[in-house]
Amino acid sequence: MPKFESCDCLWFRKDNICVILKKALLMNSAFKILPHYTYAEWEKWEGQWELIDGIPHAMGPLPIPRHQQIATSLAAEFHFQLKKCKQCNTYHPLDYRVADDIILQPGMLVVCGSITKKYLDFPPALVVEILSPATFLKDRHTKYSIYEAQGILYYLILSPEMEETEIYVLESNGYILKQKGKDFIFTFQLNGCEATIDFAEIW
């Protein structure tokens, strides 16, 4: 067993390698260890929460009317386009359980397949997030990475302030920005079904 030689400055010597230990770890100072929650705990909470890597994120108050109007208009467009598509359906926010410690609530989803549980436990075909000041970084970075890693074919980011839609399509090297703007038409290929959306209609 190697011997450890201690000294007053809280470092230890092991085979001539110095390992510095911060006093905060030993003196219970400002250093904090965040709790790590799972689905079993999350489902007992009141209110709306997302769970990302075991860390809770409050969803905050209900979206402002402008946000809701955009979400409703876009959902209606997809619903109309997919009316004859038996395997794909449009959903407003629902619980998407990515992992035991990751539960998300996308702004809108298109799911191709049957949801047999009280939450979605497989990747949707398409997800939509509508930006707000409170969710800007999470939607553009954290959720972007999760959706990409889960193999979700389409990720749409909508900006109410700019009246702008960004459409990301998953390719071999990750998401590629395929279309960006306000007034354009885009056709989505969804598990054998097509949805042609006129984004000028959602604003």
Tens digits of per-residue pLDDT, 75-129?
Answer: 999 999 999 999 999 999 999 999 999 999 999 999 999 999 999 999 999 999 9
Give CA–CA dist 77/73, Å, rounded. Answer: 6
Give CA–CA dist 137/148, Å, rounded. Answer: 16
Q: What is the pLDDT of residue 152?
A: 98
Domain layout of the chain by residue ranges? 5-57, 60-201
Stretches where the chain sits below pLDDT 70 are 1-32, 62
Per the confidence metrics, is the pTM higher than 0.85? no
Give the torsion sign (CA, 51, 74, 90, 153).
Answer: negative
| Beta-bridge partners for 104 | 96
Q: What is the pLDDT of residue 30?
A: 54
CB 174 within 8 A of CB 190: no
The structure tokens listed for 148 are 């990409």
Return the closest-CA partner of residue 78 out of 119, 108, 104. 108
For domain 60-201, the CATH superfamily is tt1808, chain A (3.90.1570.10)
Q: What is the pLDDT of residue 28?
A: 54
